Structure 1
Amino acid sequence: MPSSKTRASLNLDEIVDNALGLIREGGVASLSMRQLSTRLGASLGATYRHLPTKEALLDLCGKALFDRCWQPLQVGEDPLEWLEQQVMNLYNVLTEYRGMAEYVVRHTRDVVNPVHEVLIESGFSESEAPLVATVLTLYTAGALLTDFEHTIAVDAPDPKAMIAAGMHFVLSGPRPVTGAKGTRGKGMPARS
């Protein structure tokens, strides 16, 4: 049984980091509070004193992963390249930490407005921006659910490269370019 000094030294950052290590190794389904306590060198009771439930732990892990992958748009940075990078960061985190998508997505409320503003700044209309954001969300979710090793030919490109190329296509491929060189058109042509 760990000493009281060990238990007193536990902190949330240490608990979350160790939980994320276990999740990376075996996914969310394999994580238990008992296993985490063993890794921490603490009693199960000490772990529960910091976090009342596994669900509370997973919520903190989701916040930590979101904070690791989401970077604010920097002044002078290309907004569409930034958006593509944010989606790829999210994809990379969610493929590395299987089963964490639900918990990471809970912390994305604050990105809706920045993503909307980037899409508007990049030439999408007010009516197109939510549609494009939804397509990116569904595209990313589909990519996370796809078992690339078993559904794509052996000589196919790297799955991450395919996902990045598809995302680039969604954001810039079929849109007409009008006006000054490099300026995106305002909206897609109306369908007949």
Structure 2
Amino acid sequence: MPRPTTPLLTRPGIRTSALSIIDRAGLDGLSMRKLAADLGVSAPALYNHYPTKEHLLDDVASEIMERVDVSAFAHGWREGLLTWARSYRAALAEHPNIVPFLARGPSRRDASLRRADTVHGGLVAAGWPPRDATMIGASTKYLVLGAAMGSFSRGFVDDVQVYVDRYPALNDAHRLREHADAVDRDSFDFALTMFVDGLAARLAQR
């Protein structure tokens, strides 16, 4: 059979290319025209699969959210919260440029809503009042999104002279960039553990 004159499009292939553009150029760098050029097709060909850029971003976001693990809520709210937050951060850390889109909320995305349902249900089943469960879920999300959107350690420069003369308490700050991945990961885990330990103490007082 003769080879097709244009590449065959699939929704997974379109999502992969779209996410690649977002990783390189950010959300504003993605357009249906640029995506079509990357795929070697005309822009109208994409609309047979995704009628709008928003529909495409929803599917890309859903694909990322499928990597977030909420299964540990079956073993208790504390383990569930820790596993959810760590896997959530890990999924977003691979694609930080899409975090602002995900930060808008789950909208109608099934992957996000299923996870929200599991988190909220797991917390309520463990004895948290629904209002508290909502605030715990929101607070955890704030922690995850904040960690995914920026690096504390990479905000410092590696020149010791910037700090040593005027900011003596920051005399080791120039080393932060060198160990940024470990510092950022461990700082997130420290904050998460303190948060969950505090919640456990509060629940025990009820």
* TM-score range normalised by the length of the shorter chain: 0.7 to 0.9
**Amino acid of the residue matched to residue 33 of structure 1?**
M
1:56 is aligned to: 55
Q: 1:139 aligns with which of 134, 137, 143?
A: 143
Distance change (3 Å), C-alpha of 1:51 and 1:117: closer
Inter-CA distance 146–137: structure 2 relative to 1 (3 Å threshold): same
Gap change, CA 1:174 and 1:57, over 3 Å in 2: closer
The answer as to whether partners of 1:24 and 1:98 remain within 8 angstroms in 2 is yes
- Residue 190 of structure 1 corresponds to none
2:135 is aligned with 1:128: no
CA change 1:33–1:132 in 2 (3 A) is: same
Q: Which runs of 5+ in 1 are unaligned?
A: 178-183, 188-192
Give the CA deviation at 1:109.
2.4
After TM superposition, the structure 1 stretch with the greater mean CA deviation from structure 2, 91-100 or 69-78, is 69-78
1:158 alignment partner in structure 2: 183
**Root-mean-square deviation (CA), in Å?**
3.0
Contact 1:34–1:44 (CA under 8 A) maintained in structure 2: yes
Check whether the contact 1:120–1:126 (CA below 8 A) recurs between aligned residues: yes
| Residue equivalent to 1:95 | 93
Q: Does 1:83 align with 2:81?
A: yes
Could you state the TM-score of these two structures normalised by the residue count of structure 2? 0.69
Q: Using the alignment, how far apart are the partners of 1:118 and 1:75 within structure 2?
A: 6
Contact 1:80–1:122 (CA<8 Å) still a contact in 2?
A: no
3-state SS in 1 of match to 2:96: coil
- Where does structure 2 lack aligned partners over 5 or more consecutive residues? 157-169
Q: 1:125-155: CA deviations, max 9, x gaps? A: 5553222222212222333344411169334
Say whether the 8 Å CA contact 1:61–1:103 is kept in structure 2: no
Q: Cα–Cα, structure 1 residues 174 and 82, in superposed 2: closer, same or farther, change >3 Å?
A: closer
Deviation, structure 1 residue 162: 0.9
Contact 2:124 2:130 (C-alpha < 8 Å) held by counterparts: yes
Higher relative contact order (CA 8 A, sep 6+): 1
Structure 2 residue aligned with 1:185: 204
Aligned residues: 177
Q: Which deviations, in whole Å up to 9, do the C-alpha atoms of 1:153-181 show, x marking residues without a partner? A: 3347520221122111111246439xxxx
Segment of structure 1 superposing worse, 107-116 or 145-154: 145-154
Q: Distance in 1 between matches of 2:198 and 2:73?
A: 25
**Distance apart, 1:124 and its partner CA:** 4.0
- The structure whose residues are more often helix, as a share, is 2
1:65 aligns with 2:77: no
